[in-house]
Structure 1
Amino acid sequence: MLIYKIFRAQEWAELQAAGQSAGAPVDLADGFVHFSTAAQAPETAAKHFAGEDGLVLLACDADAMGDALRWEVSRGGAEFPHLYRVLRIGDVIWHRPLPLRDGVHVFPAETT
């Protein structure tokens, strides 16, 4: 199963340069890397990245993350995937731009 991480362009560049990342500021504050399922990702974008352009969507294989990935109840009682280790560049299956059009993030076809 693929799960998704939304990064700002600078955060993606830092992951590429360092080969790993503890995540965005919210991830650092919470002590884990936040992910979303394909169904959850649009709401995550709208809630946490409203009006932000220049985002990058990362797709990762949940099964490959092993025990470091936990499904925990979060927004609205839904279970979200949380990674309790650094995100490694090798975890990323693919990445795509997440453009903003008319105030809404446009997700790639692979997520729908």
Structure 2
Amino acid sequence: MPEADAQMRADGQLAPSGVDAADGFIHFSTAAQLSQTLDKHYAGHDALIILAVRADILGDDLLWEVSRGGDLFPHLYAPFETAHIAARFALNAARDGLDGFLSGVAA
């Protein structure tokens, strides 16, 4: 959400959301998992910021763990620094341009 994105830019790292703090890690989704994650957790939100992150730079703090539907999801057990962001995308409720963004960052 834009407020969290602005705060992250000011702080240089992302403050864990309520569910992230409760679970003890920061939840991520792959490009292939993102649409279902948006449907499940962010339906009806019309102003989201999607961050693309290169998993290889997160090192051993990024664990792939079984979650929804038996899929492996990336979970970060360390602070998320803004330096880890490869790209960002402002998403509206219609998800205009999302497929193109995901294709570009997955290439």
TM-score normalised over the length of structure 2 = 0.89
1:5 is matched with: none
2-side partners of 1:97 and 1:89: how far apart?
16
Give the 3-state SS of the residue equivalent to 2:73 in structure 1: strand
Cα distance change of structure 1 residues 90 and 19 upon mapping to structure 2, 3 Å threshold: same
Report deviation, 1:59: 0.3
Question: Aligned pair 1:111/2:105, yes or no?
Answer: no
1:21-100 map, 5 Å: 21-100=14-93
Aligned to 1:11: 4
Which residues of structure 1 form unaligned runs of 5+? Answer: 1-7
Deviations 1:11-45 (A, max 9, x none): 11111010012322211111101000111001000
**RMSD value over aligned CA atoms?**
1.2
TM normalised by structure 1 equals: 0.86
Percent identity between the two aligned chains: 44
Higher helix share: 2
Alignment partners' CA distance in 2, 1:53 and 1:88: 25
- Number of aligned pairs? 102
Asked whether the 8 Å contact 2:89–2:101 carries over to 1, the reply is no
In structure 2, runs of 5+ residues without a counterpart are none
Displacement over 2 Å in runs of 4+: none
